[in-house]
């Protein structure tokens, strides 16, 4: 079981993918170092986003932030991804999970608001976020209402099985995943533009929420589509006029050159043969039609999963270990000090390192380069190779990393001052 609220060890990503059915990342979809370098190690439903890109259809990118402490480098990759999708033209939505931090971190709503704006949002703006939808869970009647409505399709044993809740768990904690489901799905509600593929970049720890969200989205669909090789089956959910809905499905299948194999109005089922490469298109177009009848015609959201950043002293970079963490709000000089005393993949002595070379793939400093400090692949490759060859030693390598980090943080701090003045463009009434 993955627990979204505990801070454990760095996981084995291949096993995670296997155990939870997370897909691997096809090469060459996105021109971004996050994808090229395997920092994004897995995905669900990414073919929907690929389809949008190919066909110039706008998609959503959404994330939520838990205002629990510092905005640190471990959270920065999600931010980089959101900025990347915004540059591709995606519609961006950012939720502040203040109900979740109230329920799970004992943080008042006022404090959460203050942290979200002054530690997170300003950094987002300083990093280049253009105006977008930014809201607080506690403010959004739309999200809260959707969370309650959707909760009708989930029962307590299911929540217990996914999250390990107990009879004594507070209701807000039990409800917080449903609020997150509503965060993710409300961008597809009729007032927000209707069904639309949505990409949600997250850490692996958020996968339980994503699986729940995708299940709940599917449970609300009129059309339930399943594939077996070249055969597609579409069943119509019980609440709707099956004859009329099957007519609609029939027509769409013919339009996409499927061959109808059978149709049974009593079983509310139609099956057809066709090109599986049309699966995304079929789903999207049926969702659009059904949204005329069903306000919850959600397309199951897509997700990308990122590796956790290793802390500077090993383990996971998390707010509970300040010496291991670099915050975007750190003074540049503090960050320099932390990098200089970081653990490395170096050898016990300089002589040994010259002979055997270092181990960049086990080195938190190299990870810093890879995730954040070396945008150019050639540069990164050179660090990797010279480290392995024993020609680059840890002293100079750390100094260079520290210097790049110093520059980055100093520059960001300047941009934060300008960002402060723009906050009202992002934070408004819900
Ligand atoms: N649970 C997330 C976290 O702990 C925060 C969150 C709330 C979120 N709503 C979301 C993340 C929607 C992604 C999408 O960080
Ligand atoms: Fe890490 Fe750099 Fe040392 Fe290699 S030389 S082990 S990358 S600190």
Minimum CA distance residue for ligand 2 atom 8: 394
Is 6 part of a structural domain of the chain?
no
Q: Residue for token digits 């000090």?
A: 337
Residue 2 has pLDDT above 70, yes or no: no
Same domain, 155 and 63: yes
Query: Is the distance from the beta carbon of residue 344 to the nearest atom of ligand 2 less than 6 Å?
Result: yes
Asked if residue 196 and residue 131 are part of one domain, the reply reads yes
Does ligand 2 lie within 6 Å of residue 365's CB atom?
yes
**3-class DSSP state for residue 264?**
strand
Strands (DSSP E) contained in 274-325 are 302-306
Most distant CA pair in the chain, distance: 79
User: Which ligand ends up closest to the CA of 391?
Assistant: 2
pLDDT tens for residues 245-285?
A: 999 999 999 999 999 999 999 999 999 999 999 999 999 99
In a domain, 421, yes or no: yes
Q: Is residue 128 assigned to a domain?
A: yes
Establish if 77 belongs to a structural domain.
Answer: yes
C-alpha–C-alpha distance, residues 272 and 278, integer Å: 12
CA 427 / ligand 1 centre spacing (Å): 18
The CA distance from 28 to 86, in Å, is 19
CA distance 404 to 366: 13
* Mean pLDDT computed over 108-129: 97
In a domain, 53, yes or no: yes
Q: What's the pLDDT at 223?
A: 97
Q: How confident is the model over 31-74, as pLDDT tens digits?
A: 999 999 999 999 999 999 999 999 999 999 999 999 987 899 98
Q: How far is the CA of 365 from the centre of ligand 2 (A)?
A: 6
Say if residue 338 is in the same domain as residue 236. no
Please give the tally of structural domains in the chain.
3
Task: Verify whether ligand 2 is closer than 6 Å to residue 402 (CB atom).
Answer: no
Q: What is the pLDDT of residues 353-397, one digit of tens each?
A: 999 999 999 999 999 999 999 999 999 999 999 999 999 999 999
Residue 49's CATH number: 3.40.50.620
Give the domain-ending residue among 242, 258, 290: 290
User: Same domain, yes or no, for 286 and 414?
Assistant: no
Q: State the distance from the centre of ligand 2 to the C-alpha of 363, rounded, in angstroms.
A: 6
- Both 214 and 232 in one domain: the answer is no
Ligand 1: centre distance to CA 65 (Å):
5
88 and 30 co-located in one domain:
yes
Residue 426: strand, helix, or coil:
coil
Q: Which of 205, 180, 259 is nearest to 78 (CA)?
A: 205
Q: Are residues 200 and 82 in the same domain?
A: yes
Instruction: Let me know whether 127 and 257 are in one domain.
Output: no
Domain hosting residue 253, numbered range: 223-290
State the ligand closest to the CA atom of 120: 1
320 lies in a domain?
A: no
How far lies 142's CA from each of 110, 329, 349, 370, in Å?
21, 33, 60, 40
* Within a domain: 312: no
Q: Both tokens of residue 170?
A: 């507070």
| 233 shares its domain with 353 | no
Tell me, yes or no, whether 234 lies in a domain.
Answer: yes
381: part of which helix (H) or strand (E)? helix 377-389
């Amino acid at each position: 079981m993955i627990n979204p609220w505990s801070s454990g060890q760095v996981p084995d990503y291949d096993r995670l993918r296997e155990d939870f059915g997370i897909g691997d990342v096809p090469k060459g979809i996105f021109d971004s170092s996050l994808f090229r370098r395997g920092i994004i190690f897995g995905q669900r439903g990414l073919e929907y986003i690929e389809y949008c890109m190919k066909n110039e259809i706008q998609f959503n990118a959404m994330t939520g932030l838990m205002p629990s402490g510092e905005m640190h480098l471990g959270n920065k990759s999600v931010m980089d991804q959101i900025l990347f999708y915004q540059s591709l033209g995606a519609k961006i939505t950012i939720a502040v999970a203040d109900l979740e931090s109230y329920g799970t971190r004992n943080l008042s709503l006022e404090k959460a608001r203050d942290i979200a704006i002054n530690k997170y949002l300003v950094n987002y703006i300083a990093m280049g976020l253009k105006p977008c939808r930014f809201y607080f869970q506690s403010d959004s009647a739309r999200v809260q209402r959707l969370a309650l409505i959707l909760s009708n399709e989930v029962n307590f044993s299911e929540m217990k099985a996914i999250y390990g809740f107990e009879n004594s768990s507070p209701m807000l904690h039990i409800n917080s995943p449903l609020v997150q489901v509503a965060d993710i799905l409300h961008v597809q509600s009729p007032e927000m533009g209707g069904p639309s593929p949505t990409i949600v970049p997250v850490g692996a720890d958020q996968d339980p929420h994503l699986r729940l969200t995708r299940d709940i989205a599917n449970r609300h669909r009129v059309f339930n589509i399943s594939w077996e090789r070249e055969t597609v089956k579409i069943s119509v959910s019980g609440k709707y006029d099956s004859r009329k809905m099957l007519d609609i499905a029939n027509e769409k299948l013919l339009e996409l050159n499927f061959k109808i194999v059978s149709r049974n109005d009593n079983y509310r089922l139609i099956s057809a043969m066709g090109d599986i490469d049309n699966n995304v298109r079929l789903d999207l177009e049926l969702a659009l039609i059904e949204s005329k009848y069903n306000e919850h015609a959600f397309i199951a959201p897509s997700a990308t999963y990122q590796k956790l950043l290793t802390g500077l002293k090993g383990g996971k970079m998390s707010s509970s270990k300040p010496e291991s963490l670099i915050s975007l709000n750190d003074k540049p000089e503090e960050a320099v000090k932390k990098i200089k005393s970081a653990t490395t993949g170096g050898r016990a002595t300089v002589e040994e390192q010259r002979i055997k070379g270092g181990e960049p793939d086990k080195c938190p400093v190299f990870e810093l380069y890879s995730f954040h400090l070396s945008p150019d692949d050639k540069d990164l490759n050179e660090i990797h190779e010279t480290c392995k060859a024993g020609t680059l030693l840890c002293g100079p390598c750390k100094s260079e990393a520290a210097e790049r980090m110093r520059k980055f943080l100093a520059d960001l701090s300047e941009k934060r001052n300008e960002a402060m003045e723009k906050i009202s463009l992002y934070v408004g009434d819900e």
